[in-house]
Structure 1
Amino acid sequence: MVIHNPLLNKEFRQRMRTNRAPVVITAYLVSMAALTFLMLYENVQGQFALLLPARSEQVFLVVSLLQMTVVAFLTPAFAAGSISGERERRTLAVLLTTPLSPGEILIGKILSSSALLALLVIVTLPLYSLVFLFGGAVPQEALAVFGFQLYTILVIAALSVAWSTLALRSGWSTVLSYSTVTFMTLVTGLLGYALQFAAIRFPADGFLTEWGNELLQLNPLWVDARLENAVTGTFHSWLIFVGFYSILAVALLGLSVWRLRPQVLSFMPGVSRSDERNYQ
Protein backbone atom coordinates (compact mmCIF):
# COMPACT_ATOMS: atom_id res chain seq x y z
CA MET A 1 0.00 0.00 0.00
CA VAL A 2 2.83 2.40 0.85
CA ILE A 3 5.18 1.50 -2.01
CA HIS A 4 2.50 1.79 -4.70
CA ASN A 5 0.84 4.88 -3.26
CA PRO A 6 0.70 7.38 -6.17
CA LEU A 7 0.05 10.29 -3.80
CA LEU A 8 3.23 9.48 -1.90
CA ASN A 9 5.26 9.27 -5.12
CA LYS A 10 3.85 12.59 -6.31
CA GLU A 11 4.58 14.30 -2.98
CA PHE A 12 8.12 12.91 -2.91
CA ARG A 13 8.86 14.28 -6.37
CA GLN A 14 7.36 17.67 -5.61
CA ARG A 15 9.28 18.09 -2.37
CA MET A 16 12.64 16.68 -3.45
CA ARG A 17 12.88 18.26 -6.90
CA THR A 18 12.65 21.82 -5.67
CA ASN A 19 15.64 24.06 -5.02
CA ARG A 20 14.66 24.40 -1.38
CA ALA A 21 15.34 20.76 -0.45
CA PRO A 22 19.11 20.63 -1.25
CA VAL A 23 19.60 24.13 0.17
CA VAL A 24 17.92 23.21 3.47
CA ILE A 25 19.84 19.92 3.75
CA THR A 26 23.19 21.52 2.94
CA ALA A 27 22.68 24.48 5.27
CA TYR A 28 21.58 22.20 8.11
CA LEU A 29 24.49 19.80 7.64
CA VAL A 30 27.05 22.61 7.48
CA SER A 31 25.61 24.25 10.59
CA MET A 32 25.56 21.03 12.61
CA ALA A 33 29.07 20.09 11.42
CA ALA A 34 30.45 23.51 12.38
CA LEU A 35 28.82 23.30 15.81
CA THR A 36 30.13 19.77 16.40
CA PHE A 37 33.69 20.65 15.39
CA LEU A 38 33.62 23.79 17.51
CA MET A 39 32.37 21.91 20.58
CA LEU A 40 34.88 19.09 20.13
CA TYR A 41 37.72 21.58 19.70
CA GLU A 42 36.64 23.51 22.78
CA ASN A 43 36.18 20.41 24.93
CA VAL A 44 39.60 18.96 24.11
CA GLN A 45 41.19 22.42 24.26
CA GLY A 46 42.57 22.13 20.77
CA GLN A 47 44.40 18.84 21.47
CA PHE A 48 42.61 16.34 19.26
CA ALA A 49 44.96 13.58 20.37
CA LEU A 50 43.67 13.97 23.92
CA LEU A 51 40.81 11.57 24.65
CA LEU A 52 38.27 12.99 27.08
CA PRO A 53 35.19 10.70 27.02
CA ALA A 54 33.27 12.70 29.63
CA ARG A 55 33.51 15.89 27.61
CA SER A 56 32.72 14.07 24.38
CA GLU A 57 29.57 12.72 26.01
CA GLN A 58 28.49 16.32 26.55
CA VAL A 59 29.01 17.03 22.86
CA PHE A 60 26.93 14.00 21.91
CA LEU A 61 24.15 15.06 24.29
CA VAL A 62 24.05 18.69 23.13
CA VAL A 63 24.09 17.78 19.44
CA SER A 64 21.35 15.17 19.80
CA LEU A 65 19.12 17.43 21.92
CA LEU A 66 19.61 20.34 19.53
CA GLN A 67 18.75 18.14 16.57
CA MET A 68 15.66 16.79 18.35
CA THR A 69 14.48 20.35 19.05
CA VAL A 70 15.06 21.48 15.47
CA VAL A 71 13.24 18.58 13.82
CA ALA A 72 10.39 18.71 16.37
CA PHE A 73 9.61 22.34 15.53
CA LEU A 74 10.27 21.97 11.80
CA THR A 75 7.94 19.01 11.26
CA PRO A 76 4.67 20.96 11.67
CA ALA A 77 5.90 23.45 9.07
CA PHE A 78 5.86 20.63 6.49
CA ALA A 79 2.79 18.71 7.72
CA ALA A 80 0.34 21.21 9.24
CA GLY A 81 -1.04 22.34 5.87
CA SER A 82 -1.09 19.01 4.07
CA ILE A 83 -4.86 18.37 4.03
CA SER A 84 -6.17 21.84 4.86
CA GLY A 85 -4.02 23.20 2.04
CA GLU A 86 -5.67 20.77 -0.40
CA ARG A 87 -9.04 21.99 0.81
CA GLU A 88 -8.12 25.66 0.41
CA ARG A 89 -6.77 25.01 -3.12
CA ARG A 90 -10.04 23.20 -3.99
CA THR A 91 -8.13 20.02 -4.83
CA LEU A 92 -9.41 17.91 -1.92
CA ALA A 93 -12.54 16.89 -3.83
CA VAL A 94 -10.39 15.63 -6.71
CA LEU A 95 -8.18 13.73 -4.28
CA LEU A 96 -11.19 12.01 -2.72
CA THR A 97 -12.43 10.82 -6.12
CA THR A 98 -9.24 8.80 -6.69
CA PRO A 99 -9.11 5.08 -5.84
CA LEU A 100 -7.07 5.94 -2.76
CA SER A 101 -8.78 5.30 0.56
CA PRO A 102 -8.74 7.99 3.28
CA GLY A 103 -6.15 5.94 5.15
CA GLU A 104 -3.86 5.82 2.13
CA ILE A 105 -4.24 9.57 1.63
CA LEU A 106 -3.28 10.25 5.24
CA ILE A 107 -0.35 7.82 5.17
CA GLY A 108 0.95 9.39 1.96
CA LYS A 109 0.77 12.87 3.49
CA ILE A 110 2.46 11.73 6.73
CA LEU A 111 5.37 9.99 5.02
CA SER A 112 5.93 12.70 2.43
CA SER A 113 5.90 15.51 5.01
CA SER A 114 8.33 13.69 7.30
CA ALA A 115 10.70 12.50 4.55
CA LEU A 116 12.83 15.66 4.40
CA LEU A 117 13.12 15.81 8.20
CA ALA A 118 14.16 12.15 8.30
CA LEU A 119 16.77 12.92 5.65
CA LEU A 120 18.14 15.72 7.83
CA VAL A 121 18.65 13.22 10.64
CA ILE A 122 20.26 10.66 8.35
CA VAL A 123 22.81 13.07 6.85
CA THR A 124 24.07 13.97 10.34
CA LEU A 125 24.98 10.37 11.19
CA PRO A 126 28.65 10.89 10.13
CA LEU A 127 28.87 13.64 12.77
CA TYR A 128 28.09 11.11 15.48
CA SER A 129 31.05 9.02 14.30
CA LEU A 130 33.31 11.92 15.28
CA VAL A 131 32.10 11.50 18.86
CA PHE A 132 33.01 7.81 18.70
CA LEU A 133 36.63 8.78 18.04
CA PHE A 134 36.80 10.47 21.44
CA GLY A 135 34.92 7.76 23.31
CA GLY A 136 31.86 9.90 23.95
CA ALA A 137 29.26 7.32 22.95
CA VAL A 138 28.79 3.74 21.84
CA PRO A 139 27.06 2.71 18.61
CA GLN A 140 24.09 1.29 20.53
CA GLU A 141 23.35 4.68 22.08
CA ALA A 142 23.66 6.47 18.74
CA LEU A 143 21.33 3.99 17.02
CA ALA A 144 18.80 4.26 19.87
CA VAL A 145 18.83 8.06 19.66
CA PHE A 146 18.65 7.93 15.86
CA GLY A 147 15.65 5.57 15.91
CA PHE A 148 13.88 7.61 18.58
CA GLN A 149 14.34 10.82 16.59
CA LEU A 150 12.85 9.19 13.50
CA TYR A 151 9.87 7.98 15.54
CA THR A 152 9.37 11.47 17.00
CA ILE A 153 9.37 13.00 13.52
CA LEU A 154 6.82 10.43 12.35
CA VAL A 155 4.47 10.88 15.29
CA ILE A 156 4.59 14.70 15.14
CA ALA A 157 3.91 14.51 11.38
CA ALA A 158 0.96 12.17 12.07
CA LEU A 159 -0.48 14.52 14.69
CA SER A 160 0.03 17.54 12.41
CA VAL A 161 -1.68 15.82 9.48
CA ALA A 162 -4.55 14.84 11.78
CA TRP A 163 -4.96 18.46 12.93
CA SER A 164 -4.74 19.55 9.30
CA THR A 165 -7.64 17.23 8.48
CA LEU A 166 -9.81 18.08 11.47
CA ALA A 167 -9.30 21.86 11.19
CA LEU A 168 -10.87 23.79 8.36
CA ARG A 169 -8.03 26.25 7.82
CA SER A 170 -4.26 25.93 7.61
CA GLY A 171 -3.88 28.69 10.18
CA TRP A 172 -5.78 26.72 12.80
CA SER A 173 -4.02 23.45 11.97
CA THR A 174 -0.64 25.20 12.29
CA VAL A 175 -1.61 26.63 15.68
CA LEU A 176 -2.83 23.24 16.92
CA SER A 177 0.27 21.47 15.60
CA TYR A 178 2.71 23.87 17.23
CA SER A 179 0.66 23.81 20.43
CA THR A 180 1.08 20.03 20.46
CA VAL A 181 4.84 20.30 19.95
CA THR A 182 5.04 22.98 22.65
CA PHE A 183 3.20 20.69 25.06
CA MET A 184 5.55 17.82 24.20
CA THR A 185 8.81 19.75 24.54
CA LEU A 186 8.14 22.62 26.97
CA VAL A 187 5.01 22.08 29.05
CA THR A 188 5.77 18.50 30.08
CA GLY A 189 9.38 19.41 30.90
CA LEU A 190 8.56 22.50 32.96
CA LEU A 191 5.71 20.85 34.86
CA GLY A 192 7.67 17.64 35.36
CA TYR A 193 10.69 19.36 36.86
CA ALA A 194 8.45 21.72 38.85
CA LEU A 195 6.71 18.74 40.47
CA GLN A 196 10.04 17.06 41.18
CA PHE A 197 11.35 20.26 42.74
CA ALA A 198 8.21 20.48 44.88
CA ALA A 199 8.70 16.84 45.89
CA ILE A 200 12.12 17.74 47.33
CA ARG A 201 10.47 20.27 49.63
CA PHE A 202 7.61 17.90 50.49
CA PRO A 203 9.24 14.43 50.42
CA ALA A 204 6.25 12.77 52.09
CA ASP A 205 4.03 13.53 49.09
CA GLY A 206 4.67 10.67 46.66
CA PHE A 207 2.06 12.11 44.28
CA LEU A 208 4.42 14.89 43.22
CA THR A 209 7.30 12.57 42.40
CA GLU A 210 5.12 10.08 40.53
CA TRP A 211 3.39 12.62 38.32
CA GLY A 212 6.62 14.53 37.79
CA ASN A 213 8.21 11.37 36.39
CA GLU A 214 5.15 10.60 34.25
CA LEU A 215 5.21 14.05 32.66
CA LEU A 216 8.93 13.87 31.95
CA GLN A 217 8.46 10.53 30.21
CA LEU A 218 6.19 12.32 27.72
CA ASN A 219 8.95 14.79 26.83
CA PRO A 220 11.04 13.82 23.77
CA LEU A 221 14.07 15.81 24.97
CA TRP A 222 14.06 14.07 28.35
CA VAL A 223 13.63 10.63 26.77
CA ASP A 224 16.45 11.42 24.34
CA ALA A 225 18.70 12.33 27.28
CA ARG A 226 17.57 9.18 29.12
CA LEU A 227 18.64 7.03 26.16
CA GLU A 228 22.10 8.55 26.59
CA ASN A 229 22.03 7.94 30.37
CA ALA A 230 22.31 11.70 30.96
CA VAL A 231 19.33 11.75 33.36
CA THR A 232 18.06 9.27 35.93
CA GLY A 233 14.95 7.24 35.29
CA THR A 234 13.65 3.81 34.44
CA PHE A 235 15.39 1.99 31.62
CA HIS A 236 12.22 1.62 29.55
CA SER A 237 10.99 5.21 29.89
CA TRP A 238 10.77 5.48 26.13
CA LEU A 239 7.98 2.88 26.09
CA ILE A 240 5.68 5.30 27.93
CA PHE A 241 6.43 7.97 25.33
CA VAL A 242 5.89 5.65 22.38
CA GLY A 243 2.71 4.13 23.81
CA PHE A 244 1.05 7.43 24.74
CA TYR A 245 1.72 9.29 21.51
CA SER A 246 1.00 6.24 19.34
CA ILE A 247 -2.45 5.91 20.92
CA LEU A 248 -3.05 9.65 20.54
CA ALA A 249 -1.98 9.62 16.88
CA VAL A 250 -4.12 6.57 16.06
CA ALA A 251 -7.17 8.14 17.75
CA LEU A 252 -6.79 11.44 15.89
CA LEU A 253 -6.12 9.70 12.57
CA GLY A 254 -9.27 7.61 13.10
CA LEU A 255 -11.24 10.84 13.46
CA SER A 256 -9.45 12.14 10.37
CA VAL A 257 -10.57 9.15 8.31
CA TRP A 258 -14.16 9.88 9.32
CA ARG A 259 -13.64 13.57 8.56
CA LEU A 260 -12.49 12.80 5.03
CA ARG A 261 -15.22 10.23 4.37
CA PRO A 262 -18.10 10.25 6.88
CA GLN A 263 -19.78 7.26 5.19
CA VAL A 264 -17.31 4.87 6.83
CA LEU A 265 -19.40 5.11 10.02
CA SER A 266 -22.82 5.23 8.37
CA PHE A 267 -23.55 1.68 9.51
CA MET A 268 -23.63 2.84 13.14
CA PRO A 269 -27.03 3.89 14.54
CA GLY A 270 -27.37 7.58 15.24
CA VAL A 271 -24.53 8.59 12.90
CA SER A 272 -25.44 11.17 10.30
CA ARG A 273 -25.14 10.11 6.66
CA SER A 274 -23.70 13.45 5.62
CA ASP A 275 -21.31 13.34 2.69
CA GLU A 276 -17.87 14.76 2.24
CA ARG A 277 -19.21 17.82 0.42
CA ASN A 278 -20.05 19.30 3.82
CA TYR A 279 -16.35 19.19 4.64
CA GLN A 280 -15.10 20.41 1.30
Structure 2
Amino acid sequence: MLRLNPVYQKDLRTTARSLRTYIIIFAFNSLLSLFGLFALYFTFEYQQSLGNSVQYSAILEIYSVITGVEFFLLLLVVPAVTAGAISGEKERQTLEILLTTKMSPGSIIRGKLLASISTMLLLAFSSLPVIALVFSIGGITLRDLGGFLLLILETAVYLGSIGIFFSALLKKSTSATVAVYGIVLLLCLGTFGAVFGIHFLTQIHLNHLVTDGTTPMQADIGNWMLLLLGNPIATYLSVLKGQTGTGRSLAEIYGKYGNLSAVWNDNWFLISMILQIVIAVLLLFWSAALLNPLKKQPSVS
Protein backbone atom coordinates (compact mmCIF):
# COMPACT_ATOMS: atom_id res chain seq x y z
CA MET A 1 0.00 0.00 0.00
CA LEU A 2 1.06 3.58 -0.67
CA ARG A 3 2.62 5.02 2.47
CA LEU A 4 1.16 8.38 3.42
CA ASN A 5 3.37 11.24 4.44
CA PRO A 6 3.42 11.09 8.28
CA VAL A 7 3.04 14.86 8.66
CA TYR A 8 0.14 14.87 6.22
CA GLN A 9 -1.47 11.93 8.00
CA LYS A 10 -1.11 13.55 11.42
CA ASP A 11 -2.40 16.97 10.26
CA LEU A 12 -5.27 15.32 8.40
CA ARG A 13 -6.40 13.52 11.55
CA THR A 14 -6.06 16.70 13.60
CA THR A 15 -8.07 18.66 11.05
CA ALA A 16 -10.79 16.02 10.86
CA ARG A 17 -11.21 16.04 14.66
CA SER A 18 -11.13 19.82 15.02
CA LEU A 19 -14.34 21.73 15.65
CA ARG A 20 -12.78 24.65 13.77
CA THR A 21 -12.87 22.62 10.54
CA TYR A 22 -16.62 22.01 10.78
CA ILE A 23 -17.24 25.67 11.60
CA ILE A 24 -15.25 26.73 8.52
CA ILE A 25 -17.16 24.27 6.30
CA PHE A 26 -20.50 25.45 7.70
CA ALA A 27 -19.67 29.15 7.33
CA PHE A 28 -18.18 28.62 3.86
CA ASN A 29 -21.19 26.80 2.47
CA SER A 30 -23.69 29.03 4.29
CA LEU A 31 -22.27 32.13 2.62
CA LEU A 32 -22.08 30.36 -0.72
CA SER A 33 -25.69 29.15 -0.44
CA LEU A 34 -26.87 32.60 0.57
CA PHE A 35 -25.36 34.23 -2.50
CA GLY A 36 -26.52 31.37 -4.74
CA LEU A 37 -30.13 31.53 -3.55
CA PHE A 38 -30.13 35.31 -3.81
CA ALA A 39 -28.85 35.09 -7.39
CA LEU A 40 -31.57 32.54 -8.24
CA TYR A 41 -34.27 34.71 -6.70
CA PHE A 42 -33.12 37.85 -8.46
CA THR A 43 -32.81 36.05 -11.81
CA PHE A 44 -36.22 34.38 -11.80
CA GLU A 45 -38.74 35.55 -9.20
CA TYR A 46 -37.76 39.21 -9.04
CA GLN A 47 -37.37 39.67 -12.79
CA GLN A 48 -40.70 37.96 -13.48
CA SER A 49 -42.43 40.09 -10.86
CA LEU A 50 -41.25 43.14 -12.80
CA GLY A 51 -42.64 41.67 -16.00
CA ASN A 52 -39.21 41.05 -17.49
CA SER A 53 -38.36 37.85 -19.30
CA VAL A 54 -35.53 35.68 -18.03
CA GLN A 55 -32.57 35.79 -20.39
CA TYR A 56 -30.34 32.78 -20.96
CA SER A 57 -27.29 34.88 -20.11
CA ALA A 58 -28.77 35.47 -16.64
CA ILE A 59 -28.41 31.75 -15.90
CA LEU A 60 -24.70 31.98 -16.64
CA GLU A 61 -24.46 34.98 -14.33
CA ILE A 62 -25.70 32.76 -11.48
CA TYR A 63 -22.72 30.49 -12.11
CA SER A 64 -20.45 33.55 -12.20
CA VAL A 65 -21.79 34.78 -8.85
CA ILE A 66 -21.45 31.39 -7.12
CA THR A 67 -17.96 30.64 -8.42
CA GLY A 68 -16.87 34.23 -7.78
CA VAL A 69 -17.92 34.04 -4.13
CA GLU A 70 -16.25 30.65 -3.74
CA PHE A 71 -13.02 31.91 -5.29
CA PHE A 72 -13.04 35.01 -3.08
CA LEU A 73 -13.52 32.84 0.01
CA LEU A 74 -10.63 30.68 -1.21
CA LEU A 75 -8.39 33.75 -1.26
CA LEU A 76 -9.37 34.43 2.34
CA VAL A 77 -9.13 30.90 3.72
CA VAL A 78 -5.89 29.58 2.19
CA PRO A 79 -3.56 32.14 3.86
CA ALA A 80 -5.25 31.55 7.21
CA VAL A 81 -4.84 27.76 6.88
CA THR A 82 -1.21 27.74 5.71
CA ALA A 83 0.36 30.69 7.54
CA GLY A 84 0.63 28.76 10.81
CA ALA A 85 1.70 25.44 9.31
CA ILE A 86 5.40 25.70 10.23
CA SER A 87 5.40 28.70 12.58
CA GLY A 88 2.82 26.89 14.72
CA GLU A 89 5.28 24.03 15.14
CA LYS A 90 7.92 26.58 16.17
CA GLU A 91 5.60 28.13 18.75
CA ARG A 92 4.74 24.71 20.19
CA GLN A 93 8.46 23.84 20.13
CA THR A 94 7.77 20.67 18.15
CA LEU A 95 9.61 21.60 14.95
CA GLU A 96 12.95 20.41 16.33
CA ILE A 97 11.37 17.05 17.12
CA LEU A 98 10.16 16.76 13.51
CA LEU A 99 13.62 17.61 12.22
CA THR A 100 15.20 14.83 14.32
CA THR A 101 13.06 12.17 12.61
CA LYS A 102 13.97 10.39 9.38
CA MET A 103 11.78 12.80 7.45
CA SER A 104 13.57 15.31 5.26
CA PRO A 105 12.66 19.02 5.40
CA GLY A 106 11.12 18.61 1.96
CA SER A 107 8.84 15.84 3.24
CA ILE A 108 7.72 18.02 6.13
CA ILE A 109 6.94 20.89 3.74
CA ARG A 110 5.05 18.60 1.34
CA GLY A 111 3.05 17.11 4.19
CA LYS A 112 2.02 20.54 5.46
CA LEU A 113 1.06 21.69 1.97
CA LEU A 114 -0.92 18.53 1.23
CA ALA A 115 -2.84 18.93 4.47
CA SER A 116 -3.74 22.51 3.55
CA ILE A 117 -4.75 21.53 0.01
CA SER A 118 -6.90 18.71 1.39
CA THR A 119 -8.79 21.25 3.48
CA MET A 120 -9.44 23.40 0.42
CA LEU A 121 -10.52 20.42 -1.66
CA LEU A 122 -12.88 19.45 1.14
CA LEU A 123 -14.41 22.91 0.97
CA ALA A 124 -14.60 22.77 -2.83
CA PHE A 125 -16.31 19.36 -2.95
CA SER A 126 -18.68 20.27 -0.12
CA SER A 127 -19.82 23.23 -2.22
CA LEU A 128 -20.75 21.07 -5.23
CA PRO A 129 -24.46 20.89 -4.25
CA VAL A 130 -24.60 24.68 -4.35
CA ILE A 131 -22.90 24.84 -7.76
CA ALA A 132 -25.27 22.07 -8.90
CA LEU A 133 -28.07 24.64 -8.75
CA VAL A 134 -26.85 25.83 -12.13
CA PHE A 135 -26.88 22.29 -13.54
CA SER A 136 -30.57 22.00 -12.69
CA ILE A 137 -31.20 24.94 -15.03
CA GLY A 138 -28.64 24.23 -17.72
CA GLY A 139 -25.94 26.22 -19.44
CA ILE A 140 -22.89 24.81 -17.63
CA THR A 141 -21.25 21.50 -18.52
CA LEU A 142 -19.23 19.03 -16.49
CA ARG A 143 -16.17 20.18 -18.42
CA ASP A 144 -16.72 23.71 -17.14
CA LEU A 145 -17.04 22.44 -13.60
CA GLY A 146 -13.86 20.39 -14.01
CA GLY A 147 -12.03 23.49 -15.24
CA PHE A 148 -13.17 25.45 -12.21
CA LEU A 149 -12.08 22.68 -9.81
CA LEU A 150 -8.69 22.60 -11.55
CA LEU A 151 -8.44 26.36 -10.97
CA ILE A 152 -9.30 25.85 -7.28
CA LEU A 153 -6.60 23.18 -6.94
CA GLU A 154 -3.96 25.24 -8.74
CA THR A 155 -4.76 28.38 -6.74
CA ALA A 156 -4.66 26.41 -3.48
CA VAL A 157 -1.17 25.15 -4.35
CA TYR A 158 -0.02 28.62 -5.43
CA LEU A 159 -1.30 30.51 -2.40
CA GLY A 160 -0.53 27.58 -0.09
CA SER A 161 3.14 27.63 -1.11
CA ILE A 162 3.28 31.35 -0.28
CA GLY A 163 1.77 30.64 3.14
CA ILE A 164 4.16 27.75 3.79
CA PHE A 165 7.15 29.89 2.79
CA PHE A 166 6.37 32.73 5.19
CA SER A 167 5.45 30.22 7.87
CA ALA A 168 8.94 28.70 7.52
CA LEU A 169 10.62 32.11 7.32
CA LEU A 170 8.99 33.78 10.32
CA LYS A 171 8.84 32.66 13.94
CA LYS A 172 5.33 33.80 14.85
CA SER A 173 2.08 32.70 13.21
CA THR A 174 0.70 36.22 13.56
CA SER A 175 3.62 37.70 11.63
CA ALA A 176 3.35 34.99 8.97
CA THR A 177 -0.39 35.55 8.57
CA VAL A 178 0.05 39.31 8.13
CA ALA A 179 2.86 38.76 5.60
CA VAL A 180 0.87 36.21 3.57
CA TYR A 181 -2.24 38.38 3.41
CA GLY A 182 -0.03 41.31 2.39
CA ILE A 183 1.49 39.32 -0.49
CA VAL A 184 -1.91 38.02 -1.61
CA LEU A 185 -3.25 41.58 -1.57
CA LEU A 186 -0.22 42.71 -3.58
CA LEU A 187 -0.74 39.93 -6.14
CA CYS A 188 -4.48 40.46 -6.48
CA LEU A 189 -4.72 44.25 -6.34
CA GLY A 190 -1.13 45.46 -6.63
CA THR A 191 -0.60 44.01 -10.11
CA PHE A 192 -3.84 45.61 -11.36
CA GLY A 193 -2.71 48.87 -9.77
CA ALA A 194 0.70 48.58 -11.46
CA VAL A 195 -0.93 48.02 -14.87
CA PHE A 196 -3.26 50.99 -14.38
CA GLY A 197 -0.38 53.16 -13.14
CA ILE A 198 1.92 52.29 -16.04
CA HIS A 199 -0.88 52.96 -18.51
CA PHE A 200 -1.71 56.27 -16.82
CA LEU A 201 1.90 57.50 -16.99
CA THR A 202 2.26 56.32 -20.59
CA GLN A 203 -0.94 58.10 -21.55
CA ILE A 204 0.28 61.34 -19.95
CA HIS A 205 3.50 61.05 -21.92
CA LEU A 206 1.59 60.56 -25.18
CA ASN A 207 -0.67 63.51 -24.43
CA HIS A 208 2.36 65.75 -23.98
CA LEU A 209 3.77 64.59 -27.31
CA VAL A 210 0.60 65.67 -29.14
CA THR A 211 0.98 69.38 -29.83
CA ASP A 212 -0.91 69.84 -33.10
CA GLY A 213 -4.38 69.71 -31.55
CA THR A 214 -5.19 66.27 -32.88
CA THR A 215 -6.86 63.62 -30.75
CA PRO A 216 -4.24 61.91 -28.56
CA MET A 217 -3.61 58.25 -29.17
CA GLN A 218 -4.64 55.53 -26.74
CA ALA A 219 -1.61 54.32 -24.80
CA ASP A 220 -0.63 50.69 -25.29
CA ILE A 221 1.56 49.24 -22.51
CA GLY A 222 1.97 45.97 -24.40
CA ASN A 223 3.95 43.33 -22.51
CA TRP A 224 3.49 45.10 -19.17
CA MET A 225 0.14 43.31 -19.20
CA LEU A 226 2.06 40.12 -18.45
CA LEU A 227 2.36 41.30 -14.84
CA LEU A 228 -1.15 39.90 -14.44
CA LEU A 229 0.04 36.34 -15.11
CA GLY A 230 0.81 35.99 -11.40
CA ASN A 231 -2.56 37.43 -10.38
CA PRO A 232 -5.05 34.72 -9.24
CA ILE A 233 -8.02 36.98 -9.93
CA ALA A 234 -6.89 37.56 -13.54
CA THR A 235 -6.55 33.79 -13.93
CA TYR A 236 -10.07 33.27 -12.58
CA LEU A 237 -11.50 35.92 -14.91
CA SER A 238 -9.83 34.25 -17.89
CA VAL A 239 -11.46 30.93 -16.95
CA LEU A 240 -14.84 32.61 -16.47
CA LYS A 241 -14.62 34.39 -19.79
CA GLY A 242 -13.82 31.14 -21.57
CA GLN A 243 -16.72 29.28 -19.92
CA THR A 244 -19.53 31.82 -19.85
CA GLY A 245 -18.39 34.74 -21.95
CA THR A 246 -18.55 36.95 -18.86
CA GLY A 247 -15.52 38.26 -17.02
CA ARG A 248 -15.64 41.26 -19.32
CA SER A 249 -13.42 43.30 -17.02
CA LEU A 250 -10.35 41.28 -18.00
CA ALA A 251 -11.19 41.57 -21.70
CA GLU A 252 -11.63 45.32 -21.29
CA ILE A 253 -8.21 45.55 -19.65
CA TYR A 254 -6.67 43.69 -22.58
CA GLY A 255 -8.37 45.93 -25.13
CA LYS A 256 -7.94 49.26 -23.38
CA TYR A 257 -4.53 49.05 -21.75
CA GLY A 258 -2.49 46.72 -23.87
CA ASN A 259 -2.61 44.57 -26.98
CA LEU A 260 -1.14 41.13 -26.55
CA SER A 261 -0.62 38.51 -29.22
CA ALA A 262 -3.28 35.86 -29.80
CA VAL A 263 -1.04 33.24 -28.15
CA TRP A 264 -1.23 35.05 -24.81
CA ASN A 265 -4.93 35.87 -25.08
CA ASP A 266 -6.02 32.37 -26.12
CA ASN A 267 -3.85 30.51 -23.61
CA TRP A 268 -3.86 32.89 -20.66
CA PHE A 269 -5.15 30.30 -18.17
CA LEU A 270 -2.64 27.64 -19.21
CA ILE A 271 0.33 30.04 -19.21
CA SER A 272 -0.59 31.67 -15.92
CA MET A 273 -1.22 28.27 -14.32
CA ILE A 274 2.22 27.00 -15.40
CA LEU A 275 3.90 30.18 -14.14
CA GLN A 276 2.13 30.03 -10.78
CA ILE A 277 2.98 26.35 -10.33
CA VAL A 278 6.65 27.09 -11.10
CA ILE A 279 6.62 29.87 -8.48
CA ALA A 280 4.96 27.49 -6.01
CA VAL A 281 7.63 24.81 -6.57
CA LEU A 282 10.45 27.31 -6.12
CA LEU A 283 8.91 28.61 -2.88
CA LEU A 284 8.53 25.06 -1.56
CA PHE A 285 12.19 24.28 -2.29
CA TRP A 286 13.15 27.53 -0.56
CA SER A 287 10.97 26.65 2.42
CA ALA A 288 12.66 23.25 2.70
CA ALA A 289 16.07 24.96 2.61
CA LEU A 290 14.98 27.23 5.47
CA LEU A 291 14.12 24.16 7.56
CA ASN A 292 17.29 22.28 6.75
CA PRO A 293 19.24 22.06 10.04
CA LEU A 294 22.50 21.67 8.11
CA LYS A 295 21.92 25.04 6.43
CA LYS A 296 20.17 26.72 9.30
CA GLN A 297 19.48 30.39 8.86
CA PRO A 298 18.14 32.66 11.61
CA SER A 299 14.39 33.02 11.38
CA VAL A 300 12.90 36.48 11.12
CA SER A 301 10.63 37.33 14.01
Same fold, TM exceeding 0.5? yes
Alignment: residue pair count: 266
Matched ranges for 1:136-147 at <5 A: 136-147=139-150
Q: Which runs of 5+ in 1 are unaligned?
A: 264-273
Moved more, 193-202 or 151-160: 193-202
Task: Report the counterpart of residue 52 of structure 1 in structure 2.
Answer: 55
In the aligned structure 1, how far is the partner of 2:218 from the partner of 2:54?
A: 44
In the aligned structure 1, how far is the partner of 2:152 from the partner of 2:270?
A: 14
- Alignment partner for residue 238 of structure 2, among 201, 219, 226? 226
Q: Which runs of 5+ in 2 are unaligned?
A: 207-216, 255-264
Matched ranges for 1:190-201 at <5 A: 190-193=193-196, 195=198
| 1:14 is aligned to 2:14 | yes
Provide closer, same or farther for how the CA distance between residues 126 and 89 of structure 1 changes in structure 2, counting only shifts above 3 A.
Answer: same
Superimposed CA distance per residue, residues 242-262 of structure 1 (whole angstroms, 9 cap, x where no aligned partner): 233222222222222222115
Instruction: Please tell me the root mean square deviation across aligned C-alpha atoms, in Å.
Output: 2.8
Whether the 8 Å contact between 1:2 and 1:8 is mirrored in structure 2 is no
Task: Report the counterpart of residue 255 of structure 1 in structure 2.
Answer: 286
Give the partner amino acid of 2:120.
L
Task: Report the counterpart of residue 148 of structure 1 in structure 2.
Answer: 151
Q: CA deviation at 1:117?
A: 2.1
Q: CA deviation at 1:108?
A: 0.6
Give the partner amino acid of 1:114.
I
Whether the 8 Å contact between 2:84 and 2:176 is mirrored in structure 1 is yes
Superimposed CA distance per residue, residues 11-55 of structure 1 (whole angstroms, 9 cap, x where no aligned partner): 00111111222222123212211221111111123559x763211
Using the size of structure 2 for normalisation, the TM-score is 0.78
Task: Report the counterpart of residue 268 of structure 1 in structure 2.
Answer: none
In the aligned structure 2, how far is the partner of 1:196 from the partner of 1:52?
A: 36
- Alignment partner for residue 229 of structure 2, among 217, 241, 262? 217
Percent sequence identity over aligned pairs: 27
Provide closer, same or farther for how the CA distance between residues 166 and 66 of structure 1 changes in structure 2, counting only shifts above 3 A.
Answer: same
Task: Report the counterpart of residue 269 of structure 1 in structure 2.
Answer: none
Matched ranges for 1:25-40 at <5 A: 25-40=25-40
Task: Report the counterpart of residue 92 of structure 1 in structure 2.
Answer: 95
